[in-house]
Structure 1
Amino acid sequence: MNDKENRSRSRNETSTRTGMGASRPSRRIVAGHTRPCAECGLVDWKLDDSRGEVSCNSCGLVVEENVIDPGAEWTNHANTGVDRSRVGAPITHTLADKGLNTSIAASDLTSGGASRNGISARSRREWRRRRVIDERSKTRQSKIRNRVKAFQYIRDRSQLPSSLKEEACRIYGMLSDEGFVTGRSIAGVTAACTYLVARKEGIPRQIPDLAEKFHVGEKELSRLIRGVSRRFNMHTITLPPQFFPKFVSDLELPPETMMALDGLWNTIEPHTDIWQGKKPMGVAAALIYKAAAEGGTRRTQSDICKVANVSEVTLRGLIKQIDGLLKSIGSPSA
């Protein structure tokens, strides 16, 4: 009886308020804790985020430990102060192990890094030996070794944004799991993945450029692109306007050229017999030749052909067809 009276008296004293709401007791509720405290009888809980504990704010009774924080992860992007991140770096498809394995950084084992970390010369040699053993133990399977090499190709040679590098590495990983890479060139398959991902996102790469960067033949790369495209149903049509920004930049033409190019393309786009079935790079080169001439910034056919990777014969033939179309429809650009 005395315990009940003491709890009731404590609750009445703690809940004494003035003004509006003076008759209502304090009910600070934490998720999952709505009942009164077993010690003092109050409903006044608090959550300590740093310790992961739920305790009574009145008597200090701890009723739950190791509480999982469902909130967003906090990361110190400014590299100032202590980084409170609990989960480490995010998973990435650009690494063969997706970044989940722990590795010994070579930069920490240089003479300067070792001295900063207080590592003696003898310990440094020992850690170098351990690092070599660690790297070898992770890549005993040939498939994993090939992935390491392939992902390095994509990171170093694709010149794609980070998100597209991730996608290209993911596609290569799927091809490797399905056995598509077996018997084929690793560099060729990575170049094909790079080409298809870039084309899908509207920033197409030219086959000759990729073949040169990845050190594969153009015919081999074209064959691999068709094979990967059929397997994942990634066939898309590349239009000439997708090459306008790159060609204009490579030829160092003024920004006004893009407006003239858009006007020319809008004129010939309905006439599909002029440009469908032809190399989009060649059509883009022909339109750039005309737009540059109209804007007073003429470029030679030879310069344009080098940028577009088409022959001068092809370029002259396309220019002739476009001129004939513009004259037939009475366009002022004829």
Structure 2
Amino acid sequence: MSSKVCKNCGGSDIDVDHARGDAVCMTCGSVLEDNIIVSEVEFVETGGGASSAVGQFIAADGVNPSFGDNHFSGMGRESRAQTLQKARHNINTLGHQLQMNKHCLDTALNFYKMALMKNLTRGRKNCHVVAACLYLVCRTEGTPHMLLDLSDIVQVNVYVLGRTFLVLSRELCINAPAIDPCLYIPRFSQLLEFGEKNHDVSMTAMRLVQRMKRDWMHTGRRPSGLCGAALLVAAHMHDFRRTVKEVVSVVKVGETTLRKRLTEFDATPSSQLTVEEFMKMDLDEECDPPCFTSGLRKIKYNQLEIELKKRMTDVEEEILGYQDEIDAEIESCRPKLRGVYAAYAREGTEDDDDVSTAAGGEELDDEDVLQAVAKHFGKDLGELTLEALMKLEQRKPGQEEEVEEEEEELEGDVLKRKAPSLLSILGPMPTAASLRLPEDKNQSISMNISFYVACSDARDSWLQYLLSDQEIQVKTALWMAENADYLKEQKGRMHLPPSSPPRPSAPWTMSSEGFYTGTVLLSEKEARI
């Protein structure tokens, strides 16, 4: 019998069976207890003399019971429980190194459980997820800890931890607020060792950070960079000579970043105040964000560049106009062609532009020159020979009668005396062998050209003075026609007495450029003149 009372009928006749673990009312037959689980821990002695717990053990936060003693802690537990146990141990270890309180550690464990429920731990290392959960707590609770501190402890790249933190905050829908740079001021000032003035320097640095926040310098900036710039300025305001390298080694930013923050603060009106004015008064006006002012500056620079390009274009056009005028003036002042070449140029062209082009020194085509010469003398191109040019050149206006008489006399002399021809007067023409040139004229010209091409750039202008075969023939014919009188005089000297000095058989030689050179024998009267 038991002292228990039935809840249904109020009877006290209750049968308790400890083997089955149930209690039944004998009056109404209702089952009062079933599968009784006791909270007491019982121990029994084993055969070896050791004691062991009897029954199953279920933890307060556990799901399934564990069997036996605690020698094999992993037996009987599911993998999720083991994962949570390891995560709790890692979170406590990192939290104690960062000197975080128990509330922050419990919050970090709850974040880890949420990530585990959404399977955010798959494919990621456990240390990365634990560090990201702790940093998430630091952001939500506002503790003065940086992600770089966790990176130093875990020995993982800070960007890897940053990616994991962003994934957790996005998937768990946790809005991590921006960190106030003022949280890091006491920590960094303590590391810079300001001594008794540590509090004063910290307060001044906080005031500088607040001024920077009003001027929109903290948006999109790392808080450590603002803290470093504020501490450097505050240290100089309190006569502490802290260098940029010392501040950089504490706040963990680059020198370029720190100098850029100082440059941005220098552009604000607050930087123009004295120390006393800055500590006593606050300016009401706010500056535009540095990114906005830099964008306006870039737009202004682009506009100035476009305007400068337009002005440069106008100046270039003006210079080109002046250059055209100068070229035209030089063209008008350039000496024009004279003699036979000018006549050929006038008769060979009908437009004044072509005449000015020929006078400007442009070379005419060889075939055009020959046709112009033939047209000038009224002959075909095939009839243009050396003797024909000589005869045609002598028939100038006003001298036709004299020329005809001279021709008749010359013809009579030729018939009577059988005087030598013009070629015999000039003697044998120079050959390629006498001039030490190749027999092939084309080869000679190509050798000359190759020689001049091999020379320096200063000698490249000489190539335009080299004459082709046709130009040499035309120039030879023109020279013979112009110097017909002199040739006649030389022809008369052939019949001088023997006492006169002998005339060289071939006084004239032709150079490779197409010019005739030689010596002229003068009489005593001519020499006196």
Tell me if both proteins adopt one fold, taking TM over 0.5 as the criterion.
Answer: yes
- For 2:271 and 2:228, how far apart are their aligned partners in 1? 21
Structure with max Cα Rg = 2
Off by >6 Å, runs of 4+ in structure 1: 97-101
Residue 277 in structure 1 maps to residue 216 in structure 2: no
Alignment match of 1:310 (pick from 253, 256, 260): 253
Per-residue CA distance 1:190-211 (angstroms, 9 max, x = gap): 1111111111111142122101
* SS of match in other structure, 1:293: helix
Per-residue CA distance 1:141-195 (angstroms, 9 max, x = gap): 3332222222212111122111111100111011112211111111111111111
Per-residue CA distance 1:63-87 (angstroms, 9 max, x = gap): xxxxxxxxxxxxxxxxxxxxxxxxx
- For 2:251 and 2:199, how far apart are their aligned partners in 1? 19
> Where do 5+ consecutive residues of structure 1 fail to align?
1-96, 102-128
Matches within 5 A, 1:125-204: 130-133=69-72, 135-137=73-75, 140-158=77-95, 159=98, 160-204=100-144
- For 1:98 and 1:297, how far apart are their aligned partners in 2? 57
CA drift at 1:230: 1.1
Alignment match of 1:245 (pick from 174, 182, 186): 186
* SS of match in other structure, 2:268: helix
- For 1:294 and 1:286, how far apart are their aligned partners in 2? 12
Amino acid of the structure 2 residue aligned with 1:270:
R
Amino acid of the structure 2 residue aligned with 1:233:
I
Residue 319 in structure 1 maps to residue 262 in structure 2: yes
Moved more, 168-177 or 324-333: 324-333
Per-residue CA distance 1:90-130 (angstroms, 9 max, x = gap): xxxxxxx66679xxxxxxxxxxxxxxxxxxxxxxxxxxx94
Amino acid of the structure 1 residue aligned with 2:228:
A
CA drift at 1:239: 2.4
Contact between 1:146 and 1:186, CA under 8 Å: does it hold in 2?
A: no
Contact between 2:209 and 2:226, CA under 8 Å: does it hold in 1?
A: no
Q: Match of 1:235?
A: 176
Decide whether aligned partners of structure 1 residues 165 and 98 sit closer, same or farther in structure 2, where only a CA change above 3 A counts. farther
- For 2:81 and 2:208, how far apart are their aligned partners in 1? 50
Decide whether aligned partners of structure 1 residues 237 and 145 sit closer, same or farther in structure 2, where only a CA change above 3 A counts. same
> Where do 5+ consecutive residues of structure 2 fail to align?
1-58, 280-529
- For 2:260 and 2:239, how far apart are their aligned partners in 1? 22
Q: Larger helix proportion, structure 1 or 2?
A: 2
Decide whether aligned partners of structure 1 residues 156 and 201 sit closer, same or farther in structure 2, where only a CA change above 3 A counts. same
- For 1:303 and 1:328, how far apart are their aligned partners in 2? 23
Residue 292 in structure 1 maps to residue 229 in structure 2: no
TM-score normalised to the size of structure 2?
0.37
CA drift at 1:233: 2.2
CA drift at 1:215: 2.9
* SS of match in other structure, 1:298: coil
- For 2:266 and 2:105, how far apart are their aligned partners in 1? 41
Contact between 1:245 and 1:258, CA under 8 Å: does it hold in 2?
A: yes
Which has the bigger relative contact order, CA under 8 A and spacing at least 6?
1
Instruction: Work out the percentage of aligned pairs sharing the same amino acid.
Output: 25
Contact between 2:265 and 2:271, CA under 8 Å: does it hold in 1?
A: no
- For 1:143 and 1:326, how far apart are their aligned partners in 2? 59
Contact between 1:196 and 1:234, CA under 8 Å: does it hold in 2?
A: no
* SS of match in other structure, 2:83: helix
Q: Match of 2:369?
A: none
Q: Match of 2:523?
A: none
Amino acid of the structure 2 residue aligned with 1:290:
V
Matches within 5 A, 1:1-334: 130-133=69-72, 135-137=73-75, 140-158=77-95, 159=98, 160-231=100-171, 232-253=173-194, 254-272=198-216, 274-326=217-269, 330=273, 332=275
Amino acid of the structure 2 residue aligned with 1:136:
G
- For 1:198 and 1:307, how far apart are their aligned partners in 2? 20
CA drift at 1:323: 2.5
* SS of match in other structure, 1:275: coil
RMSD: 2.7
- For 1:323 and 1:267, how far apart are their aligned partners in 2? 12
**Aligned residue pairs, count:** 210
Moved more, 263-272 or 180-189: 263-272
Decide whether aligned partners of structure 1 residues 295 and 326 sit closer, same or farther in structure 2, where only a CA change above 3 A counts. farther
